[in-house]
Structures are given as structure tokens and as C-alpha cells.
Amino acid sequence: MANVFFIGATGYIGGAVLHALLQAHPSLVVTALVRRADTIARVRALGEHVSAVQGTFDDLALIERLSRAADIVINTADCDTVPLTNAILAGLRKRVEEDGKPPGALLHTGGGAVFLDGRREGKADPNGRVWNDANPDDIRSITADRLHGPVDVAILQAGEARYIDTHIISPGGVIGEARGAPVLAGSIFIKLLIQFLTQKQRVAYLGEGTNRFYMVELNDLVDLYLLVFARVLSGADKDKSAYERYYIGAVNPLPLKTIMTAVGEKLARRTVIPDATPVSISVEGADALSQVFAADQRLEYDRAKSLGWNPKPVDMKEYMNETIDAALDTLHRQL
């Protein structure tokens, strides 16, 4: 069975993905990079053939070495750190050019925010561009000046150079409970919303609040990882362009006002903020995070559907309790 180097095993997405992969493929040989020594035993307990190595994203030589030794690298931890990505790519390149091995694979977790329109008006654009993961030209249009773009571009170019079999999954805003994860970790998307609303001390949204973010429930997203991983193992797509191995893991759009209100109501009940009344704030002079929350997007996930992925639409209120509690707990531990 394949030798996997896994980055993000103690994270929100990564913990759930690794647990599911090992349930589906119990003979996988996995080496996981973990930051904290006190989580090593919990990660190792996920499977008979799982080992853990302590390190951080700054340990570039270690990451390059472990990537070079792996058949498959899975990164669920970060979609913005270019040195981390470069170390992974360097290791996988040396596997081919110096070790004489066949190309390894990289299954990378991007971010759906790469498709935000950048308008920063807090308003839906009914005529905005529709990004479809089944259209290679749409994926070719991802540029390094977009949010998450530098890492996506580097990986896509490496895939086109044919020394790596690259696959990218770009999730939308992720909510829901992380089943089987070795460590309790909160959704990064929800943590950003909490930080934004806590800073504002109210349920704030930008402009009209009709601008849309696409959402996905975590365990539906995990199903997509399993489907893509099966393609990686089989090598079914190795002769395709890297732009045909890109998957949007996002299901349905929700207005930012709806998203902010659902999160804000739970924060108010927990007395994190004093009031749950939604309030529009001006986009003028907004900080960087506020500007992100003022953008709009339109997405289609036809390539993901073609694999048999059948996620259900997200209802924010259905998953709020466990999602908010996990995110708040993680934020408190980081303080």
C-alpha cells in the first residue's frame, strides 16, 4: 500500500480526513507531521501503520525529506504558506530527478476564497463570473494575485511540468462536527467569523450583506477527499492536465448577512458579544478581513459531481452549536 506523508492531522479538516482515509484504507502507511508533542500519541492511535513526527512549517528540510520519501503527500493544513509548498514540491521533484522513482502525488487543500470577485461591495452580483471546476480554462485563470493564488499557481505549474501528479480540492466555508479526529479543532472559516464579530462587538455585515459565500458540511467534504484519493491511488488521472485535477468542494451559496447572523446569535447566547441584532457597516475604510467578507462569488462543482460526489445543501443553523463550541474552544486554547 502507498506511503503517505500527511500534513494537518490535528486540524479540523485534516483530522477528519485522515480518520476516514484509514477507515477506508487500513493498510495505508502514514507519516504525519504534528506540531505539539502531546498530540503524537493520539495521531498514532488512528491506525496500525501510522507514525508521527514533531515539526512545524518552518522545518523545511524535514518537510522536503518526508515529501521525497512519500508516494503521496496530503496537505490539509495550509493554503497560503509558499515556503511550505515549495519544500513539498522540491522533495517530490527530487524523488523523480535524483532518486529515479516515478512521480509522486500531491493532494492539496486550497480555499474557495480564491474565487472571490474582489468587488468588496457587500452586494451580490447576478452577472458575476461563474467558476466551474470542470472548465480547465477557469482553473487556468487562477492567478498569483488572488487570495490563496500563489500556492495554487505553484502547484498547478508543478503538475503541468509532469514531475508530480497534483490534485487540489478547494473547499468553501466548512462547518459541522469533525468525526473521528484525534484532536478537537475548530473550523478556520468559523474562527475568522468569530474574530470579526468579536472585534466589532455586534452582528456586523458589510453593505447589503447579499454577497455570497459557498458552504460545505465537513463530512460531505471528507467524502470528496475519499473519492479524489481513490483517483490518486488508481492513477486514473495521471495523464490529464493539472487543470483537470482541480475540484471545488463547495455546495450552496449563502448571503453573508445570513452567515453572520447565524454565528452572531450563538455568540450572543454565549455572551461573547452583547447583542444579536444584525447591523450593516460601511465598506469604506474597511480592514483587510472586512474587505474579504464584502466580496461575492459564483461557483459550480461539476468535476466533483462527476466523481459521484453528492453533498447536501448546508443549513447554517443545523450545525451551529457544535461548530461554534469547537471554534471557541480552539480560540481560547490559542490565547
Residues in the chain: 335
Q: Is the confidence at residue 332, as pLDDT, over 80? A: no
Instruction: Report, as an integer, the average pLDDT of 79-95.
Output: 98
Q: Mean pLDDT throughout 69-77?
A: 98
Please compute the mean of the pLDDT values over residues 307-326 and round it to a whole number. Answer: 91
Q: Taking residues 294-299, what's their average pLDDT?
A: 98
Give me the pLDDT at residue 334, please: 61
What are the tens digits of pLDDT across the range 138-161?
999 999 999 999 999 999 999 999
Over residues 31-69, the pLDDT tens digits come to 999 999 999 999 999 999 999 999 999 999 999 999 999
For the segment 76-101, the average pLDDT, to the nearest whole number, is 98
**Is 218 within 8 Å of 177 (Cβ atoms)?**
yes
Residue 160 has a pLDDT of 98
Mean predicted lDDT score pLDDT of the chain: 96
Please report the pLDDT score of residue 319 as a whole number. 85
Q: What is the pLDDT of residue 329?
A: 87
- The 10s digit of each residue's pLDDT in 212-232 is 999 999 999 999 999 999 999
Please give the residue that has the higher pLDDT: either 318 or 249: 249
Angle at alpha carbon of residue 121, lines to 141 and 247, rounded to 5°: 30
Any idea what DSSP says for residue 35?
A: S
Scanning the chain, the segments in alpha helix (DSSP H) are 12-24, 40-44, 60-69, 82-97, 136-140, 149-160, 188-200, 218-234, 256-269, 288-292, 302-306, 316-334
Nearest to 171 by CA among 310, 294, 13, 315: 13
Residue 147 pLDDT: 97
Q: Give mean pLDDT, residues 91-103.
A: 98
pLDDT of res. 335: 44
Please check whether residue 113 is in contact with residue 148, taking contact to mean a CB–CB distance below 8 angstroms.
Answer: yes
Q: Are 124 and 211 in contact (CB under 8 A)?
A: yes
Q: Which long-range contacts (CB under 8 A, 24 or more apart) does 64-69 make?
A: 64/88, 64/90, 64/91, 64/94, 65/91, 66/5, 66/31, 66/33, 66/91, 67/5, 67/91, 67/92, 67/95, 67/104, 68/92, 68/94, 68/95, 68/99, 69/3, 69/5, 69/31, 69/95
Helix (H) or strand (E) holding 167: strand 164-171
pLDDT of residue 223: 98
Output the pLDDT for position 286. 84
Of residues 318, 202, 297, 217, the one with CA closest to residue 255: 297
Mean pLDDT, range 175-204, rounded to an integer: 95
For 244, other C-beta atoms within 10 Å of its C-beta total 15
SS3 label, residue 321: helix
Cell output for 135: 472548465
Confidence of residue 239 (pLDDT cuts 50, 70, 90): very high
DSSP assignment letter at 161: T
The pLDDT, as a whole number, for residue 125 is 97
